[in-house]
Structure 1
Amino acid sequence: MVDAVTRRFEHFLSWTVGALVELVNLYLADAESDHRLCPELGPYIRYGVSDPSALSLMMQGLRSWRLAHEIAQQIPEDDQPGGTDPREWLATMTISEWRQRFTASTSEILDLLGLTRTRHRSLLRNLLENTTTRIDINLENSVPDTNADPLSLAPVPGSPEPAPIGIFSGTRLIGTVRSADHADVSTILDTGLELDFDLIGASLAISAPDQ
């Protein structure tokens, strides 16, 4: 039943409606009419959403219909289409906020991390080419005194997977990696490279000393 419904509605019906809408709009343009059918009607049918923000998120890789609806309902009016990209609004939040605000599951969190990742950038490449790369972090409170204890990056203990990546001074949590940088920083940590960290204000320098 699922396969049959998917073929008929997600593929055939949405494609047919999209083609029909395009033909009708061409006819209206030739007739010099100011009226147009919604060009995105086909994608709206395919993804099962009715909000431009939800459609944008689904077309950019979000797989959860429920989560797309929930995010679209909570986006402030100032961040609606025509203004800020909904991904930018999501990137201002932490993983914990996503869980609390949207009741996001593990798979949904992973999708959001992919969506909010800074595009056309590789922190690992910057690190390997320049031996240092820098990111802004979310500080827990004011700028901490990190002179006494060495800094380290690690998943925050006790957090469900995928856990936020914390910045620790000794054993004390002083901040977390931003959602937009989470995937890139995870890739760096997975390499097993020996890393040094230097915190200046809310800016963290990650360095790989010569091996």
Structure 2
Amino acid sequence: MLEHLPEVTKTWSFKDKETRGTQMNVPVAPALREWISGTAIPDLARSWQPDIPAAWALEQAVRNISTAFGHALSWTVGALINLVNTSPDLSPDAPRLNQHTAWHIRHGVDTEQALTLLTSGVTSRRIAHLLGHDAARLRHRSADLRRWTAQHHIDGWAQQYGASDYEIQDLLDYVRTPSDPINRLLDDRATTTPLTRLVPGTPDGPVDVARPSERHPTIRIDRDQHQVATVPADRHLDVLAMLESGLDLDHRLHDGQLVTTRRSR
């Protein structure tokens, strides 16, 4: 059993009470499966110690996840996999162990795509697990993950994955394509923003840019009070900064893109 490994015994320990508590047996193998499956830490705490006060169970879950999964076990498994995969006794055609397994143990996810998200700036394990599962199911590789994630946009992240405000900000930072529109405008140069969800047949000309709201979390491009396009997720933060800069701006639609200039005085 995993809990009898010397690498684990000192880092996987639970008690029924905080003071003078009795040692409890929480099998590490099923706990590890729950952790990698993306189960939230409060839910893990309730599963591992259902009859223990919630705050004490949660504190122990966090500590044991950090010491056992985040360090001892992931490091040991990673070293073992490397020894096996590089063994001179293996023939060139022999199958190798999954080299990402140690990272799955450390981060608590079970797809390569989720690992990519978590090691690329996304801090929410929950959202990384959900997006990673969908990306793996649809066979999106890690190299394509940023573009695919951006396509869902803010409303897609909220509706499909239940993303919180914090998780949405996390994903906006992850998908962002820096464009530096404010400096271009300060130099009296036009800044161009690609658009998405453009209504077919929309002619060029002046448009209004509507800031995000609780009801409409994306930045909308409007004409005559009707939405004709949306600022894509990867440009959302830069366009929002431009709108909040205090500069007096003119916006036009040209060849399916938003062209913004400083208004002449």
Q: Which structure 1 segments of 5+ residues have no match?
A: none
CA distance in 2, matches of 1:11, 1:54: 19
Partner of 1:63: 123
CA distance in structure 1 between the partners assigned to 2:233 and 2:108 by the alignment = 27
Q: How far apart in 1 are the matches of 2:197 and 2:128?
A: 29
Within a 5 Å distance, the mapping from 1:89-100 to structure 2 comes to 89-100=148-159
CA gap of 1:90–1:141, structure 2 versus 1, over 3 A, is same
Query: What percent of counterpart residues are identical?
Result: 32
Specify the alignment match of 2:237 in structure 1: 183
Q: 1:134 aligns with which of 175, 192, 210?
A: 192
Q: How high is the TM-score relative to the length of structure 1?
A: 0.79
Question: Which stretch has the larger CA shift, 6-15 or 187-196?
Answer: 6-15
Q: Give distance in 1, aligned partners of 2:79 and 2:264.
A: 58
Give the aligned length. Answer: 203
Change (3 A) 1:23 1:90: same
**Partner residue, 2:250:** 196
**1:17-32 residue pairs with structure 2 within 5 A?**
17-26=77-86, 28=87, 30-31=88-89
Task: Identify the residue that residue 53 of structure 2 maps to in structure 1.
Answer: none
Separation of aligned partners in 1, 2:201 and 2:260: 18
Contact 1:79 1:89 (C-alpha < 8 Å) held by counterparts = no
Match for residue 15 of structure 1 among 47, 52, 75: 75
- SS of the residue aligned with 2:243? helix
Q: Residue 153 of structure 1 aligns to which amino acid in structure 2?
A: V
Closer, same or farther in 2 for the Cα pair 1:81/1:139, shift >3 Å? closer
Which string of whole-angstrom CA distances, capped at 9 and with x for unpartnered residues, describes residues 91-127 of structure 1?
22231122222222212211221121126x4333444
TM-score by length of 2: 0.65
CA distance in 2, matches of 1:126, 1:45: 45
Whether the aligned pair in 1 keeps the contact of 2:109 and 2:115 (CA below 8 Å) is yes
Q: CA RMSD in A?
A: 2.8
Shift of 1:81: 2.2
- Give the Cα separation in 1 of the matches to 2:241 and 2:72: 39
Determine if the alignment matches structure 1 residue 33 to structure 2 residue 91. yes
Q: What is the identity, as a one-letter code, of the residue corresponding to 1:38? A: N
Identify the match of residue 50 of structure 1 among 110, 130, 142: 110
Q: Which residue of 1 aligns with 2:182?
A: 124
**Residue 85 of structure 1 aligns to a residue in which SS?**
helix
SS at 1:167 equivalent: strand
Partner of 1:101: 160
Paired position in structure 1 for 2:63: 3
Take 1:78 and 1:4, find their aligned partners in 2: how far apart are those partners?
34
Deviation (angstroms), 1:74: 2.5
The structure with the largest alpha-carbon Rg is 2
Whether the 8 Å CA contact 2:188–2:262 is kept in 1: the answer is no
Asked which structure has the greater RCO (Cα within 8 Å, sep 6+), the reply is 1
Whole-angstrom distance in 2 between the partners of 1:153 and 1:159? 16
Residues 166-191 of structure 1, C-alpha deviation per residue, up to 9 Å, x if partnerless?
A: 11225333221111111111122222
Structure 2 stretches of 5 or more lacking a match? 1-59
Cα gap change, 1:187/1:57 in structure 2, threshold over 3 Å: closer, same or farther? same
User: Deviation at 1:131?
Assistant: 1.6
**Which digits, 9 at most, give the CA deviation of each residue in 1:126-182, with x for residues without a partner?**
4445621111112452343575xx53323244526xx21111225333221111111
Is residue 110 from structure 1 mapped to residue 164 from structure 2 by the alignment?
A: no
